[in-house]
A and B are shown apart, each in its own frame.
Chain A
Amino acid sequence: MFKSIMEWVDARLPVSDLIKSQATEYPTPKNLNYWWNFGSLALFVLIVMLATGLFLAMHYKPDANLAFDSVEHIMRDVNFGWLLRYLHANGATFFFVCVYIHILRGMYYGSHRSPREILWWFGVIIFFALMGTAFMGYVLPWGQMSYWGAAVITNLVSAIPVVGEELVVWILGGFSVGDPTLNRFFVLHFLFPFVVFGLVILHMWALHAVHSNNPDGIDVHEGKDTLPFHPYYTIKDLYGVGVFLMVYLAFVFFAPNFFLEPDNYIPADPMKTPAHIVPEWYFLPFYAILRSIDFLGSFSKLAGVVAMGGAIAILFILPWLDRSPVRSFRYRPLSRQLFWVFVLDCFVLGWVGYNPADATLFDGALPLIVIGRTATAVYFSYFVGLWLVTVLKIEKPKPLPKSI
């Protein structure tokens, strides 16, 4: 019965072929390690976010006078509303955890290198879209951090010469963050994930066109070096989901406010800025880069915004900055060291971004801004350094294995 239905469908739309070639029998390198789980985990979180977001939107009210109350209504009155909201709020955090690990894994094993540049580009575009989505979502609870985060970030646009000021007014739909801003951010926050979903399909299409990279970074021989995706990687990804859920849900059920700022439980007040505005943790390194450019006088603001945007945009040209004939850092000792300096530097930037702009260390002897500037320089140096050690052939790669 089932077979004949499938035959009927396949004669008209070759579904079975697609499933076979792109999913069940899709050849996957057999030596992928657990770092390769984070792609499927990110997709899993995206689905969780879509589902919880959809159901939250059925109770939420995008109105400056009602938004805060409606979130508390969800938390207190709606059946399991607290679960939906905490899944969604913590989901944002774990989305970025997965995405950051996924990006760094790609950078380490050379997954962005030829012929996977377009695959990488879609990834960077998805990352941009996620940051926009997360930012607008954070505005919706209409607490103090929502409000002032929105005020600060939209103000960045005013750094654009000539039209900046007017552009901000246009984006806000007013002279300050207000009801029109909240309403449009809600609509965009609802729309964007579907755009992201479309981009993910393009990302996967690009992946399936060139196939997965692997920890050795060498080209694989189909058959000898590969396994059918099902059941080998379906079960491995599912196991990954199980482990991931234990960490994610432990926060949701036992420490749901760990990643949230207490100030966001105070309703938005346009007349009073909180003493210390911090973005969500996943924006902190970029926020630190933004603030670290303060030595250019009247150009500082624009330069800071450009530096912050550039910190992500530079990922677009990363496939061409790395000139080494070897993809994987497993066989590149010098690049590996640069990589770890870069990772550490991101944490330092995050820590600087978390602290107030005028904070100091050692009783005022070391202003944090100095650390911020240094860390910003280190951040960009990674990309320049990688280019230098490879273009000048300073690095001597270790011999590559013949096959995996």
Chain B
Amino acid sequence: MDLMKGTIKVAALLVLLLPQWGQASGGAALPVQEWGFKGIFGKFDEAALKRGAKVAVGVCMNCHSLKYIKFDQMRAFGLPEAEIEAMAKDSGRSRKDRMLSVMDAVSAKETYGIEPPDLSLMTKARKGYEDYAYGILTGYLTDQESADIKKAMEDGKLSETERMEVAHVLHMDPRHEDKLKEAITKLEGGGNFNKYFPGHFLAMPQPMQDGAVEYGDGTKASLEQLSRDVVTFLAWAAEPTAEQRKGMGIGVMIYLLVFTAMLYAVKRRIWAKVH
């Protein structure tokens, strides 16, 4: 068991020594959310998915597509056929069509400078996953924050306290005054500032605010709620088979636990003659 001892020592050392594996992004640390659908036993909240689908179709899909999802697939979380049909009609499509954006890619590129990325895999395709998507949606400056920054810059200079304040609001490093000022200049020039986007400026203007969508179920459509719901929907869209996978996994693990224990017992019995 000599090699085993060494291995344990090295493993312990690695756990102590290796700090967090480098975080290479220009954005601030993401606000980590609790997502009920994550984890081994996590399940999607159907009500949240239905609300999220409304947000996705009503807001996101004006510019973005979800090309790997068909409208009809939303029956999976209990959306009635008639509602799906109505959603599809609203974006000029039928129930069996893929969920493509209302605006075509060419005119979107003319308007925003880039082609809006497809959203079907968004929660899997960025570091931070669901938290990233939520961070972007909620990371635009509020009116109050914009006003505060404007006020701080009134005299064209940043005092020590103002600099700390502004850096705090923008989620930037207060030690780099030049970068702060550059960001403020861009911001005043109409740039789309986001606290959590790597590099902070992105092509997408703030897509929605409080009340952007009328929920039918009495839930208050605050920006946070809208974002949570649509991110939940996007997480479902990124891998509609996720629940099937986890459910099957639990069965398989129980089987393996029993089977491996049996194998161990057989191994013990056979080797008993040797030891």
Q: Cβ of A2 < 8 Å from any Cβ of B? A: no
Segment among B101-109, B150-158, B252-260 that sits at the interface with chain A: B252-260
Contact of A351 with B263 in the complex, beta carbons under 8 Å: no
Q: Cβ of B215 < 8 Å from any Cβ of A? A: no
Contact of B253 with A253 in the complex, beta carbons under 8 Å: yes
Q: Cβ of B13 < 8 Å from any Cβ of A? A: yes
Smallest CB–CB gap between A88 and chain B, Å? Answer: 15
Return the contact of A265 from the options B1, B124, B241, B244 (Cβ within 8 A).
B124
Contact of B6 with A340 in the complex, beta carbons under 8 Å: yes
Q: Contact size class for A?
A: 35 or more
Question: Complex Cα distance A379/B30, Å?
Answer: 37
Q: Cβ of B47 < 8 Å from any Cβ of A? A: no
| Chain B residues whose CB sits within 8 angstroms of the CB of A239 once the complex forms | 260, 263-264, 266-267
Q: A82-B245, A343-B10 are in contact. Are A249 and B3 (CB under 8 A)?
A: no
Smallest CB–CB gap between A198 and chain B, Å? Answer: 30
Contact of B260 with A249 in the complex, beta carbons under 8 Å: no
Which label, helix, strand, loop or mixed, suits the secondary structure of the B interface? helix
Q: Cβ of A76 < 8 Å from any Cβ of B? A: yes
Q: Cβ of B220 < 8 Å from any Cβ of A? A: no
Contact of B124 with A262 in the complex, beta carbons under 8 Å: yes
Q: Contact size class for B?
A: 35 or more
| Chain A residues whose CB sits within 8 angstroms of the CB of B266 once the complex forms | 235, 239
Contact of B260 with A76 in the complex, beta carbons under 8 Å: no
Contact of A82 with B246 in the complex, beta carbons under 8 Å: no
Residues facing A in B231-273 (CB within 8 A) are 239-241, 244-246, 248-250, 252-253, 256-257, 259-260, 263-264, 266-267, 270-271
Smallest CB–CB gap between A270 and chain B, Å? Answer: 15
Segment among B17-25, B78-86, B202-210, B222-230 that sits at the interface with chain A: B17-25
Q: Which residue of A lies closest to B251 (CB)?
A: A253
Smallest CB–CB gap between B67 and chain A, Å? Answer: 9
| Chain B residues whose CB sits within 8 angstroms of the CB of A329 once the complex forms | 2
Contact of B249 with A236 in the complex, beta carbons under 8 Å: no
> Interface of A with B (CB < 8 Å)?
30, 33, 35, 72, 75-76, 82-83, 86, 105, 108-109, 215, 227, 231-232, 235-236, 238-239, 242-243, 245-246, 249-250, 252-254, 256-257, 262-263, 265-266, 275-276, 329-330, 336, 339-340, 343-344, 347, 351, 354-356, 359
Known pairs A231-B270, A266-B125, A355-B21 / 11 extra A-B pairs, C-beta < 8 Å = A83-B245, A109-B3, A232-B274, A235-B271, A239-B263, A239-B264, A242-B256, A250-B253, A329-B2, A340-B6, A359-B24
